[in-house]
């Protein structure tokens, strides 16, 4: 009897020890990939889920968390303060990058990773000097200091950067590779194929500013998935552990325009990139993939009092963004009906046409009209205080479960990498 009791006690102790070990989050990953879908709230994920065949991969990752998104003293953040909180662990004011609320410089997770001997990379469909990417390497009081931020990128320890931003970064790279310099800091590329054949450290500029939204990209030779695959291949070949930030900004822009069709295309493209990351992680066996957002944009609601189903098939047939339709119509508003019929198969009546013409934001008015026809509505043209969802898969992924503040995202990344 005593022997049985002893065995039972040892078994209980062993189970408790294993549970405590699991809860302590001691498991770490060699590589970390963070996919940040700017502006993506829970409803955005569900709209993408409805539009996809078989569901979104990002929604089927085993660990799920809920993250609050406030900035210092405000319920509603901008991307600069949100990225600073997530990547440095410090709250700050809207528009500020890399300084905390006391205006002390904050060190990013990517800087810590670089100091630990890891390769680091950024892939984005936005400009590389835009707020989300910049929070990984820059310190500025105003997110609009694009030239200053670009200089800090060129002087940074980032191993690989690919995205838009050629208007500001391109001239700096030409200066850096001038004959007067003994050795350029980065190899400069302006084509994804050239980058894939190239060498690190590298900056690849694919657009003057932000890259086109997926719904407007037409016959573009590559998208976010292609950029991700190229970056993963190069970072893996470098031989060192690595951290990669993958960001897509198109969803945020579409949500500001209340453009559900643009959101759907952006969500599907983002999920293709997530699939590429998960495929790499599955083969590698030591890579953690985390999918998150910095804030929600637009107050998206799947329901507008226009039936009991969301007509995603109609949204998928739209062939241009609300912004593109508004831009084309602005040169001749008499063509507005023709343009909306051409791109969205939308029969615009005279009353709505007049509302679009006199609006201070014609793109948003067009977006709302097309969204409503598919039973999608919007509460705002700006950011909201909604929580965002975080999903993770791979070693250390359990740390991203639960409900937490955006500053804790930084701590969870450090824990996952053992930094």
Summarize pLDDT for 35-71 with one digit per residue, the tens. Answer: 999 999 999 999 999 999 899 999 999 999 999 999 9
Q: Let me know if residue 171 belongs to a domain.
A: yes
Q: Could you tell me if 258 and 322 lie in one domain? A: no
Q: Which domain holds residue 338?
A: 318-375
Q: Could you tell me if 274 and 338 lie in one domain? A: no
Asked if residue 185 has pLDDT above 90, the reply is no
In the prediction, which pLDDT does 223 show?
A: 93
In the prediction, which pLDDT does 175 show?
A: 73
Q: Number of structural domains, the chain?
A: 2
In the prediction, which pLDDT does 28 show?
A: 96
Q: Could you tell me if 175 and 71 lie in one domain? A: yes
Separation between Cα atoms, residue 206 and residue 127, nearest integer Å:
9
pLDDT in tens, 323-375: 999 999 999 999 999 999 999 999 999 999 999 999 999 999 999 999 999 99
Q: Let me know if residue 313 belongs to a domain.
A: no
Asked if residue 218 has pLDDT above 90, the reply is no
Q: Let me know if residue 220 belongs to a domain.
A: yes
Q: Could you tell me if 284 and 364 lie in one domain? A: no
Asked if residue 184 has pLDDT above 60, the reply is no
In the prediction, which pLDDT does 10 show?
A: 43
Separation between Cα atoms, residue 49 and residue 264, nearest integer Å:
9
Task: Give the pLDDT band (50/70/90) at residue 220.
Answer: confident
Q: Could you tell me if 358 and 411 lie in one domain? A: no
In the prediction, which pLDDT does 17 show?
A: 41
- Of 375, 393, 408, the last residue of a domain is 375
Task: Give the pLDDT band (50/70/90) at residue 26.
Answer: low
pLDDT in tens, 106-119: 999 999 999 999 99
Task: Give the pLDDT band (50/70/90) at residue 20.
Answer: very low
Q: Could you tell me if 285 and 334 lie in one domain? A: no
Asked if residue 2 has pLDDT above 80, the reply is no
Q: Hey, which residues does 119 pair with through a beta bridge?
A: 242
Q: Let me know if residue 143 belongs to a domain.
A: yes
- Of 356, 375, 394, the last residue of a domain is 375
In the prediction, which pLDDT does 176 show?
A: 60
Q: Could you tell me if 118 and 61 lie in one domain? A: yes
Q: Let me know if residue 368 belongs to a domain.
A: yes
Q: Could you tell me if 371 and 390 lie in one domain? A: no
Asked if residue 174 has pLDDT above 60, the reply is yes
Q: Could you tell me if 371 and 391 lie in one domain? A: no
Q: Could you tell me if 265 and 287 lie in one domain? A: yes
In the prediction, which pLDDT does 211 show?
A: 95
Asked if residue 181 has pLDDT above 80, the reply is no
| Average pLDDT, integer, range 227-233 | 98
Task: Give the pLDDT band (50/70/90) at residue 165.
Answer: very high
pTM listed for this prediction: 0.92
Structural tokens at position 287: 């890579």
> Across all residues in the chain, what is the average pLDDT?
93
Contact 356, 366 (CB under 8 A): yes
Q: Let me know if residue 8 belongs to a domain.
A: no
Q: Let me know if residue 210 belongs to a domain.
A: yes
Q: Let me know if residue 147 belongs to a domain.
A: yes
Q: Could you tell me if 208 and 266 lie in one domain? A: yes
pLDDT in tens, 241-300: 999 999 999 999 999 999 999 999 999 999 999 999 999 999 999 999 999 999 999 999
Q: Could you tell me if 327 and 249 lie in one domain? A: no
Asked if residue 94 has pLDDT above 90, the reply is yes
In the prediction, which pLDDT does 353 show?
A: 97
Give me the CATH number covering residue 158: 3.40.720.10
- Of 342, 359, 375, the last residue of a domain is 375
């Amino acid at each position: 009897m005593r022997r049985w009791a002893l065995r039972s006690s040892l078994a209980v102790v062993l189970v408790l020890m294993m549970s405590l070990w699991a809860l302590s989050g001691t498991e770490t990953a060699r590589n970390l990939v963070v996919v940040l879908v700017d502006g993506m709230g829970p409803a955005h994920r569900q709209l993408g889920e409805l539009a996809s065949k078989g569901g979104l991969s990002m929604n089927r990752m085993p660990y799920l968390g809920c993250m609050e998104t406030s900035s210092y003293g405000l319920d509603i953040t901008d991307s600069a303060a949100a990225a600073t909180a997530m990547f440095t662990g410090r709250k700050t004011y809207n528009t500020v990058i890399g300084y905390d609320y006391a205006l002390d410089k904050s060190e990013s997770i990517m800087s810590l990773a670089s100091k630990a001997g890891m390769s680091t990379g950024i892939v984005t469909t936005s400009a590389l000097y835009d707020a989300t990417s910049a929070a990984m390497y820059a310190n500025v009081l105003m997110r609009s200091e694009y030239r200053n931020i670009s200089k800090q990128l060129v002087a940074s320890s980032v191993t690989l950067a690919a995205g838009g931003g050629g208007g500001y970064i391109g001239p700096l790279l030409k200066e850096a590779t001038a004959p007067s310099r003994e050795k350029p800091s980065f190899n400069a590329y302006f084509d994804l194929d050239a980058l894939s054949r190239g060498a690190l450290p590298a900056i690849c500029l694919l657009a003057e500013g932000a890259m086109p939204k997926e719904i407007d990209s037409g016959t573009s030779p590559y998208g976010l998935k292609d950029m991700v695959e190229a970056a993963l291949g190069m970072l893996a070949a470098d031989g060192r552990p690595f951290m990669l930030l993958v960001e897509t900004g198109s969803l945020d822009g579409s949500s500001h325009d209340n453009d559900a069709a643009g959101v759907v295309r952006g969500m599907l493209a983002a999920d293709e990139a997530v699939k590429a990351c998960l495929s790499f992680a599955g083969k590698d066996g030591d890579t953690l993939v985390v999918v998150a957002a910095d804030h929600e944009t637009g107050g998206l609601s799947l329901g507008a009092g226009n039936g009991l189903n969301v007509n995603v098939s109609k949204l998928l047939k739209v062939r241009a963004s609300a912004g593109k339709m508004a831009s084309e119509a602005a040169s001749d508003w008499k063509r507005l009906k023709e343009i909306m019929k051409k791109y969205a198969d939308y029969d615009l009546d005279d009353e709505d046409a007049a509302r679009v013409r006199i609006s201070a934001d014609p793109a948003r008015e067009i977006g709302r009209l097309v969204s409503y026809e598919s039973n999608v509505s919007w509460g705002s043209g700006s950011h909201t205080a909604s929580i965002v969802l975080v999903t993770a898969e791979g070693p250390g992924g359990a740390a991203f479960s639960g409900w937490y503040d955006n500053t804790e995202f930084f701590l969870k990344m450090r824990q996952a990498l053992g930094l």
